[in-house]
Amino acid sequence: MTAQVLFRHISETLANVYDANEAKSIAYLVLETRYGLSRTAVILDTPLATDLAEVTPLLERLKNQEPVQYVLGEADFYGRTFEVTPAVLIPRPETEELVQWVLQELKGTTIPDLLDIGTGSGCIAVTLAAERPDARVAALDVSEEALTVARNNAQRLGVTVEFIQKNALITQDLPAQRYTAIVSNPPYVKQAEAAIMLPHVLDHEPHLALFVADHDPLIFYRAIAQYASTHLLENGFCAVEINQALGPETAAEFSEAGFAHVEIRTDLSGRDRMILARK
């Protein structure tokens, strides 16, 4: 069999579930990740020592709209490849923008102490540790399954992160030390928004990491703001990813917690997506 035969088989099989361009993108990703074939190698129709039956289990999962990152067991984030499982959210480009902002704000600091609240796959904490080897990085999550994935990512990418199992809403149990920066991408999707979510997200990504109650959608931000207000070093800051529909409301939580400088920043799509707060 050749690369083009397998590429056509995958993309045509998925065309009934995804649009043609997305089906082709998934096919290229499968060929690259599973078989080490670049797009050029596919175009050149490289011979393959496999058969169509080998990809059938993978295709069945993709036809059920399971995210390709879960099927392949990995996702790219900030130039690195992270292990992902259904226990953690798939890292997204918007979170890369949050990390970039944090790294910019850390310029000029030495040996920063950093805390990632709700670490999931560890993509934020591990990336910060990799980009700032001098940093002391801690990360917490309520899910032991998520922490297992995060630890694996730290190990495979060769960085040191202290992982802690804690519930971010029980702030009295969180670390007592003070930090240069506290960073978080907490749950922020309202239950009412589930009706408009795509099946590959709603049916497969962990609801624990996605959803908050409609009557109190800012519950995590309130807890984070209150904790950060007493656990930042001088000139420290708190940076969070937010629900695009709740920018001003989320900013108000930080202002009410005593932060004098609260900035909302949009993502590359022009949507309110991040907040950075300083005392």
Write the CB contacts of 53 (distance below 8 Å, at least 6 apart in sequence). Answer: none
How many residues are listed for the chain in this entry?
279
Q: Are strands 113-117 and 136-141 parallel, antiparallel or unpaired?
A: parallel
Q: Apex CA 215: angle with CA 195 and CA 92, to 5°?
A: 50
Is 121 marked within a binding site? yes
Spatial CA neighbour of 238 closest among 180, 177, 165, 169: 180
Is 186 marked within a binding site? yes
Is 119 marked within a binding site? yes
Q: Where are the beta strands (DSSP E) in 172-231?
A: 179-184, 189-190, 211-212
Is 187 marked within a binding site? yes
3-state secondary structure of 179: strand
Tell me the CA end-to-end span of the chain in Å, nearest whole number.
62
How many other CB atoms are found less than 10 A from the CB of residue 25? 15
How is residue 78 written in tokens? 């900030």
User: Residue 186: what residue type?
Assistant: P
Q: Work out the angle between the directed axes of helices 144-156 and 123-131 (0-180°, nearest 10).
A: 30
Is 270 marked within a binding site? no
Write the CB contacts of 268 (distance below 8 Å, at least 6 apart in sequence). Answer: 93, 97
Is 258 marked within a binding site? no
Spatial CA neighbour of 270 closest among 94, 7, 67, 70: 94
Is 188 marked within a binding site? yes
Annotation: binding site for S-adenosyl-L-methionine: 118-122, 141, 185
Annotation: binding site for substrate: 185-188
Annotation: binding site: 118-122, 141, 185-188
